[in-house]
Chain A
C-alpha cells in the first residue's frame, strides 16, 4: 500500500496544474487565517479600548444617586474569541455590545454583519469557509477518477497482476487524497499558530486538536466516499457527478432544510409575542418606581415590621432601594422564566440539528468546528448568561447602596461618592473551558466517527469484488 501512496504523491507533486492550484489554495488559506487573525487582533484592541473607555466613564462618576447610576448603566463588550480566525461561527451576526442597566435586560447590538458594506451568502473569507466548502471539493476532484482512471486505462489489471490487492489500491488512493487534505489543514493550523503565538495555551491547544480531529474525520469521509464511487462505477464522470450531488446535498440543501424543520419542530416565540408575554408577567410584579403599587405596599409592611417601626420615615434605611431591588428580583424571575424557555428551545433545536449528523456529516463538522472554536450559539448563550449574572450583581450593589448607604426613604437627592462607583467591579468574561462544554459536541464527534467507520466498511466490503475489467 505504501508504494501506491508514494506513487500517488509523485503524481500530485509532478502535476503542475495541481501544484499551481495547491499554491493558490495555500495562499488563500494563509491569507484568510492571517486576515482573520488581524481582524481578531483589531477587535481585541477595539474591545480593550472600548472596555477601558466605558470603565473610565463609570469610574469618573463623581457623585450620583445609585439608582440614577443604575439607569445610567454601563456597557459590556463581547471579546473576540481566540480561535475566531479559524471559524467565526455565529459571531458576525450576534452583535458584540450589550447595555447593562436597571429594570431591563437589553439585547446585543452592533453585529458585524449589520455593518458590512456588502452582503454575501457565505460571509467573509474565513478559514472555515475554505476548510468546509472548498477543500472538500478539491478532494472530490482529486479522488473521483483515482480508481476509475486505473480501470479505464487498463492499469488496474497490471496493478492486480503485480500483486496489489484491489482493497489495498482503494485504501492507498483514499489515504493519498486524505493526506492532501490533512496537509492543507495542518498548514492552516500552523499559519494560525504563527500569527497568534501569544494565544497558545493548553485550552487553545486542546480546542485546536479537537477542531483538527473533526476536520480530519470529515476529509476522510469525503476522500473515502469519492474513491469508493470511483471504484464502484466504471465511469469517472458518474463518480464525479455522484459525489458532487452529495456535496451539494450535504453542504447546501440539507443544512437549510434540516434547520428550517428543526425551527418548526421546536418553535421559538416571535419577538412580539415574547415581549408581550414578558411585559405581562412583569406587570404582575412590584413596580419599583410606583410607591402606591399594591405589592409594594405589602413589601413596605414587611420591612416596617422587620424594623419594628410604623412609618417609612422611622426606617434607618432607604425603602426605595429595597423596593427597587424587589422590582429587580421579580424582573429577574420573569427573565429566567422566559429566557429559560428560549434557552431550552435553543438546546432542543441544537440537539435535533446535531442528530441530523446521522444523515449529513457536514452538519456534525459545522457544529464541531464552531463549538471547538467557541464561536457557536452555545458559547454565545453562555456569554449572555454571564452578562446577565453580572447585571444582576451590578444592579444589586447599586440598589443596596441606595437602601443601606445612609440615605432615608424618599431622599432622591442623596448621592453615593466616587469611591463607591470605583468599588463596583468591572465585567470580566470567563470563557467556557473545553472540558465544560465538550459533552455537548460528543454527538458530533460520534457521528463523524460513525461516518468514518461506515466509509471504511464501504471501502473494505464494497470493493472486495471490485471489477478489474
Chain B
C-alpha cells in the first residue's frame, strides 16, 4: 500500500532522506523511529505529495504521490503532532466541515458515530474545539480520516504530549484501524509506544533507514538500547 523505492530528498545540499526503500502493507502498522531531523517528517510529506523526491519514487496504492496530492489525498488520513482544528467550531462541526470538503455529506448521527468510534466522549461533541485537550483533537483528526474511509494513515509524532490514558486510547485506535485493513505509518520518538503498536519498526538516521525489524523480535528495552546505539555518531 505504501511504497518508497530508493527515494531521496535534499534541501540546500543537506540530505534529508537518502535512498529510502520501504513498504507498508494493508493491515500493517510501521513505526519510523528517529531523532529530530532524521527525515521522518520529510518522508511523510513525500507520501502526502507536498514534497517531491529528487530521485526514486514514492507511491500509495500504486499512485505516484509526486503527481499531485489531490488523487492520493483521498486515500490518506493524516494525523500531525498537533491536530489544529477550527477552534470556533465544535468537534462535530469540524468533522462535518472536513467531510463536506471531501464531498461527503453525512447525517448528524453518522458523524456522531464516527466520533464515538474514534473515542470522543458524547458530551464533548458539541463543545467548541478551543476547549478540547490535545488528545480530543487527535480523536477528531482520526475521525476525519476514518469518515473518508482512508486506506492509509500517516501519523507524525501522534503520541507526543499525550497523557498516558490518551496515548493508550490512540494505540487501541491504531490497532483497530489496522485490523480493518488500513496501512499505517507512524513517525515517532516514543520507542515504547512504537514497540507496542507497530508490527514493524524502522530506524532512520540522517535520512537513511539504518535498521528494520519486526517488533516481536525485540523487547522495548532492547529496542531502546538498539536505538541509542544507532543514534551514537
Binding site for B on A (CB under 8 A): 3-4, 7, 10-11, 14-15, 153-155, 157-165, 468-469
Contact = CB atoms under 8 A, between A and B. Distances in A.
Given A3-B101, A469-B51, A161 B88 contact: no
9 contacts: A3-B100, A3-B101, A4-B101, A11-B86, A154-B84, A157-B50, A160-B69, A163-B74, A163-B102
Given A163-B74, A165-B70, A469-B45, A158 B88 contact: no
B164 interface: no
B101 A162 contact: yes
Contacts of A4: 101
A7 B78 contact: no
Interface string B61-97: 0000000011001101010101011101100010001
Given A10-B89, A157-B78, A469-B45, A162 B102 contact: yes
Nearest to B73: A161
A159 B80 contact: no
In the complex, which of the residues B74, B100, B144 has the most CB atoms of chain A within 10 Å of its own CB atom? B100
Nearest first, the 6 A-B pairs at minimum CB distance are A153-B84, A162-B101, A161-B73, A14-B88, A162-B102, A3-B100
B73 A163 contact: yes
Interface of B: 45, 48, 50-51, 69-70, 73-74, 76, 78, 80, 82, 84-86, 88-89, 93, 97-103, 141, 144, 148
A163 B73 CA distance: 7
B147 to A, nearest CB: 10
Contacts of B48: 157, 161
A14 B93 CA distance: 13
B34 to A, nearest CB: 18
Nearest to A149: B84
Nearest to B101: A162
Contacts of B99: 162
Given A11-B88, A160-B70, 16 more contacts: A7-B86, A7-B89, A10-B86, A10-B88, A10-B89, A14-B88, A153-B84, A154-B84, A155-B84, A157-B48, A157-B78, A161-B78, A162-B99, A162-B101, A162-B144, A163-B74
A162 B148 contact: yes
A162 B51 contact: no
Nearest to A150: B84
Contact of A7 (B51, B70, B97): B97
In the complex, which of the residues B69, B78, B89, B98 has the most CB atoms of chain A within 10 Å of its own CB atom? B98
Nearest to B71: A163
A161 to B, nearest CB: 4
A55 to B, nearest CB: 63
A11 B84 CA distance: 15
Nearest to B70: A163
Given A3-B100, A469-B50, A160 B45 contact: no
A159 B85 CA distance: 10
B80 A157 contact: yes
A376 to B, nearest CB: 44
Nearest to B148: A162
A11 B85 CA distance: 12
In the complex, which of the residues A3, A159, A164 has the most CB atoms of chain B within 10 Å of its own CB atom? A3
A158 B98 contact: yes
Contacts of B103: 163
Given A165-B70, A469-B45, A469-B51, A159 B84 contact: no
A43 to B, nearest CB: 46
A74 B30 CA distance: 96
Contacts of A160: 50, 69-70, 73
B51 A158 contact: no
Nearest to A16: B88
Nearest to A168: B101
A161 B76 contact: yes
Contacts of A14: 88
A193 B84 CA distance: 45
A165 B84 CA distance: 19
B85 A155 contact: yes
Nearest to A164: B101
A158 B78 contact: yes
Contacts of A158: 78, 98, 141, 144
B151 to A, nearest CB: 13
Contacts of B82: 153-154
B101 A159 contact: yes
In the complex, which of the residues A10, A14, A15, A158 has the most CB atoms of chain B within 10 Å of its own CB atom? A158
Given A161-B78, A162-B148, A468 B50 contact: yes
A158 B102 CA distance: 10
A11 to B, nearest CB: 6
A7 B48 CA distance: 24
